C-alpha cells in the first residue's frame, strides 16, 4: 500500500535548471578542492611525501568508486525513484535502510581488510616505492589511517543518491566541500604539530581526509530526516528491489573493476620514475577534474535523475531527446573549457601551484600532463552522462562492454606510449581510451534516436567546436594585449593576463553559440541572466 500520499519524484524538470543547481554546489566544492591542492602544493610540493599521500589516498578512494559512488549510485537512483513512484517515499526509505545495513556489513569488512593489509596494498599500487623503505612505510601508515574513509564516504554517496531521487540536488552536491575544508584546515593547523606527536607532517592530510569523509556523511542526515528518513538496521536481503540494485550494480562493479586495474597499472608505471611523477599526474588530473565536476558531473546528475523519472513514468519517448540535450549542454560548456586549458595550461598551473615547495620544474611537467588529459575532457564528461542513463534503462551490458573495451585499450596504450613518451604516455592513453568508451556508448544511443535527431546532434557538436575555437582566438588576442599592458613574470601580471582572457572568453562564448544557432545557447543565456526574451 502507498503509505505516503505524496509521491517522491515530481514530474521531470529541465536538465539545465537541475544542472545549474548541482553545478553551483559542485562549483563551490571544486573551488575549495583547488584551494586544497594549492595548500598541499605549497606546503609539501611534488615529491616523495606527496607521492606517498596520493597513493595512500587512492586505495580507499578507489574502492569507494568501485563499491559506492560509481556502481551503487547508478543502480540506486532509478530503483529508488521507481519504488517511491509506486509505493511512496516511506517505502523508499525502507529500501535505503536495507541497503545501508548491507553496506555496513560488506564495507566494514573491507575497511578492516585495508587496515590490516595496508603494506600489501601499497605494494600492489606502487611497487617502485620498495626502493625507498621510508616512503613505502609512510604510505602504508597513511593507508591505515585513512581506511575508515571508505565506509563513511560510501554511506555519504548513498545519502547523496537518495536525496537526488527525492529531487534534492544542491546540498548533496555541496557535501564534498566539507571534505576539502577539513583537509585544508588539517594541513594548515596540524602539519606543524605532527612531528611532536611522532608523525610526518604529511600525515595531517590523512587525518583531514578521515574527518572530511565523516563530515560528508553526517551532513546528509538532517535533510534526509526532514524528508522522513529514520535509520533502522534492516537485514532483509530478500527485498526484490535490493536484489535489483545488486543485479544492476554487479555489471557496473565488473566494469569499474577493470577501471581500477587501469589505475593500478598507471600507479605502478608512474612509481618507477622516481619522486615526482605520481604527484604531477595527480595535480594534473585534479585540475582536469575541475571542469568535469563543474559541468560533467552536474549535467550527469541532472540527466540521470530526469531519465530515471521518465522511465518510472513510462515516458520512454522522451529519454532519447533528454540524453541528447544533456550531451549538447555539456559540449557547450566543456568544449570552451578544453580550448582554454590547452591555450593557457602552463600559466594556470603556475598561478595556482607554483609557490613554496612547488617548483618551476613541477609546473612544467604538470602543465604538460594537464594538456594531455584535456584532450579527452569532453569524452570523459559524456561517459559520466551516458553510463548512468543506461542503468536507468536497465541496460547493464552496454556500459560493461564499453568499460572493459576502453580499459583494455587504456592498458595497451599505456605500455605502448610509455616507451617513446615516458610517464606522459599515461594521460594521453587515458584521453584516447575515453573517446573510445564514449563512441561505444553513444552508438547504441544514436540507434535508439530518430535519424534526424542523431544528425542534429552531430551538426551541433561541429557548430559548438567552431564557436569554441573562435572564443579561443578572442581569448588569446586579449591575453596578448594584456601582456603588452602589464608584462613580466610576476603573479600580478599573470593574474591580470589570465583574468582578462577568461573574462573575454566568458563574454564571447554565449553570443558565438547563438551565432552558430546552437539550441542550448538560449537556455545558457537565460540561466546566466545575460539577456531575456519571451517565446522561442
Mean pLDDT by 10-residue block, N- to C-terminus, for the chain (536 residues)?
42 56 74 87 84 87 68 78 87 93 92 93 84 91 94 89 84 86 94 92 95 93 92 91 84 67 77 84 84 73 74 73 82 92 92 84 92 92 81 79 90 92 92 92 69 60 94 95 84 90 92 88 65 41
**In angstroms, how far is CA 260 from the centroid of its own chain?**
15
Q: Is residue 514 part of a domain?
A: no
Supply the pLDDT for residue 26: 74
Quickly list H helices, 117-239. Answer: 118-125, 133-165, 170-174, 176-190, 203-218, 221-226
Among 51, 108, 526, which residue's Cα sits nearest to residue 280? 51
Cα dist from 353 to 35, 120, 433, whole Å: 10, 32, 28
Domains identified in the chain, total number: 1
Supply the pLDDT for residue 17: 62
Neighbours of 233 (CB within 10 A): 10
**Secondary structure class of 483 (helix, strand, coil):** helix
Helix (H) or strand (E) holding 168: none
Q: What is the DSSP string of 266-293?
A: HHHHHHTT-SSHHHHHHHHHHHHHHHII
Enumerate long-range contacts of 395-401, CB under 8 Å, 24 or more apart.
396/247, 396/248, 396/250, 396/251, 396/252, 397/251, 398/440, 398/441, 398/444, 399/251, 399/252, 399/255, 399/441, 400/251, 400/252, 400/254, 400/255, 401/440
Supply the pLDDT for residue 426: 92
Beta carbons within 8 Å of 431's beta carbon, 6+ residues apart? 372, 373, 374, 375, 376, 377, 379, 380
Supply the pLDDT for residue 69: 59
**In angstroms, how far is CA 482 from the centroid of its own chain?**
33
Within a 13 Å sphere around the CA of 192, how many CA atoms are in the beta-carbon half? 3
Contact 520, 328 (CB under 8 A): yes
Supply the pLDDT for residue 14: 55
Q: Is residue 387 part of a domain?
A: yes
Q: Is residue 168 part of a domain?
A: yes
User: pTM for the whole thing?
Assistant: 0.72
Q: Is residue 88 part of a domain?
A: yes
Supply the pLDDT for residue 218: 94
Q: Is residue 89 part of a domain?
A: yes
Q: Is residue 472 part of a domain?
A: no
Structural domain of residue 57, as residue ranges? 15-449
Helices and strands in the chain, H and E counts: 21, 0
Q: Is residue 478 part of a domain?
A: no
Q: Is residue 490 part of a domain?
A: no
Amino acid at each position: 500500500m502507498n503509505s505516503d500520499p505524496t509521491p517522491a519524484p515530481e514530474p521531470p524538470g529541465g536538465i539545465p535548471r537541475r544542472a545549474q543547481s548541482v553545478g553551483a554546489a559542485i562549483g563551490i566544492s571544486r573551488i575549495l578542492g583547488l584551494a586544497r591542492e594549492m595548500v598541499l602544493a605549497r606546503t609539501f610540493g611534488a615529491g616523495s611525501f606527496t607521492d606517498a599521500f596520493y597513493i595512500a589516498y587512492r586505495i580507499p578512494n578507489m574502492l569507494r568508486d568501485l563499491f559506492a559512488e560509481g556502481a551503487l549510485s547508478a543502480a540506486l537512483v532509478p530503483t529508488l525513484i521507481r519504488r517511491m513512484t509506486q509505493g511512496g517515499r516511506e517505502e523508499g526509505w525502507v529500501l535505503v535502510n536495507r541497503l545501508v545495513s548491507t553496506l555496513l556489513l560488506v564495507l566494514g569488512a573491507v575497511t578492516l581488510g585495508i587496515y590490516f593489509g595496508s603494506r600489501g596494498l601499497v605494494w600492489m599500487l606502487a611497487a617502485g616505492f620498495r626502493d625507498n623503505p621510508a616512503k613505502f612505510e609512510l604510505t602504508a601508515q597513511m593507508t591505515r589511517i585513512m581506511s575508515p574513509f571508505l565506509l563513511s564516504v560510501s554511506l555519504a554517496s548513498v545519502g547523496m543518491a537518495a536525496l537526488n531521487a527525492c529531487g534534492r540536488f544542491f546540498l548533496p552536491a555541496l557535501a564534498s566541500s566539507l571534505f576539502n575544508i577539513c583537509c585544508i584546515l588539517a594541513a594548515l593547523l596540524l602539519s606543524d604539530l605532527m612531528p611532536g606527536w611522532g608523525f610526518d607532517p604529511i600525515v595531517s592530510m590523512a587525518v583531514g581526509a578521515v574527518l572530511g569523509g565523516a563530515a560528508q556523511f553526517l551532513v546528509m542526515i538532517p535533510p534526509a530526516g526532514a524528508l522522513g528518513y529514520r535509520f533502522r538496521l534492516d537485514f532483509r536481503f530478500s527485498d526484490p528491489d535490493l536484489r535489483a540494485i545488486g543485479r544492476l550494480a554487479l555489471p557496473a562493479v565488473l566494469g569499474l573493476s577493470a577501471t581500477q586495474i587501469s589505475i593500478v597499472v598507471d600507479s605502478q608505471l608512474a612509481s618507477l620514475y622516481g619522486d615526482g611523477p605520481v604527484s604531477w599526474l595527480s595535480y594534473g588530473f585534479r585540475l582536469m577534474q575541475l571542469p568535469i565536476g563543474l559541468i560533467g558531473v552536474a549535467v550527469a546528475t541532472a540527466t540521470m535523475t530526469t531519465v530515471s523519472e521518465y522511465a518510472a513514468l513510462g515516458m520512454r519517448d522522451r529519454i532519447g531527446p533528454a540524453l541528447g540535450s544533456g550531451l549538447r549542454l555539456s559540449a557547450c560548456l566543456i568544449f570552451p573549457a578544453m580550448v582554454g586549458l590547452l591555450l593557457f595550461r602552463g600559466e594556470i598551473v603556475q598561478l595556482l601551484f607554483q609557490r613554496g615547495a612547488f617548483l618551476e620544474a613541477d609546473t612544467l611537467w604538470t602543465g604538460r600532463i594537464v594538456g594531455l588529459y584535456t584532450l579527452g575532457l569532453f569524452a570523459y564528461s559524456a561517459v559520466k552522462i551516458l553510463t548512468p542513463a543506461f542503468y536507468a534503462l536497465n541496460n547493464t551490458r552496454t556500459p560493461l562492454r564499453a568499460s572493459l573495451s576502453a580499459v583494455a585499450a587504456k592498458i595497451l596504450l599505456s605500455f605502448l606510449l610509455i616507451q617513446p613518451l615516458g610517464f606522459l604516455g599515461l594521460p594521453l592513453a587515458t584521453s584516447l581510451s575515453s573517446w573510445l568508451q564514449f563512441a561505444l556508448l553513444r552508438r547504441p544511443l544514436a540507434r535508439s534516436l530518430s535519424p534526424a535527431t542523431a544528425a542534429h546532434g552531430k551538426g551541433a557538436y561541429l557548430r559548438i567546436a567552431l564557436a569554441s575555437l573562435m572564443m579561443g582566438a578572442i581569448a588569446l588576442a586579449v591575453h596578448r594585449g594584456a601582456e603588452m599592458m602589464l608584462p613580466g613574470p610576476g603573479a600580478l601580471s599573470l593574474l591580470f593576463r589570465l583574468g582578462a582572457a577568461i573574462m573575454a572568453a566568458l563574454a564571447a562564448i554565449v553570443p558565438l553559440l547563438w551565432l552558430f544557432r546552437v539550441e542550448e545557447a538560449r537556455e545558457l543565456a537565460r540561466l546566466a541572466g545575460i539577456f531575456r526574451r519571451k517565446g522561442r
